[in-house]
Structure 1
Amino acid sequence: MSVSGIESVGFTPYVAPSVSPAAAARTSGGQEFGDLVLDGLDRLESVQDRSDALAVKAATGDLTSIHDYTIAASEAQVTTQLTVAIRNKAVEAFTEIMRMQV
């Protein structure tokens, strides 16, 4: 389905990082997970920075289309909610592991 004019918005959707087969085959695991976490946080920061920049443009009257800011703000909100949910699940999993008796 195509929406006319969406190309002019410059909207770049969040794309989850893909793991290469070579990286998946490695046995050290910890480094790749850490890289994925850092990459996700970097992407969250860039989405929030874009939203903040558009908010400043909207406040100063330099933004020609308020839809750009609305989309960016919604994307930043959803990305932040996803990041918080993942963090909560990780903390919950860590707590469960710490409760296990050895």
Structure 2
Amino acid sequence: MSKSTAHVPTRSGSRYLQQLSKHWSHNLDVEFTPEQSRIVFPKDSRGATWSADALVLMEARPETLDVTIEASSPEHLEALKGTVARHLDRFAFREAPLTFVWG
């Protein structure tokens, strides 16, 4: 498994976390509170070519939205980083683009 975390500077992390979680709950396995979210991308989601489930975890803090992605391969990880960033930027349009420094 490949894993990466970004600490995205924003004071609206809880709002963005909830918006994205609700958005993806229509098609994916999602559990969330105002402070934390767990989103499972199954291996067969939307034409995916990866061989295992992927996981996106988000935690809203006072000054950041912490995003962790666990994926089956480095390529899958990179694809999900882009997907998560694009979706969060869409919800954060007033302060977009958000700063994602993946580590």
TM normalised by structure 1 equals: 0.31
* TM-score normalized by the length of structure 2: 0.31
Structure number with the bigger relative contact order (C-alpha 8 A, sep ≥ 6) is 2
Larger Rg: 1
| Bigger proportion of residues as helix | 1
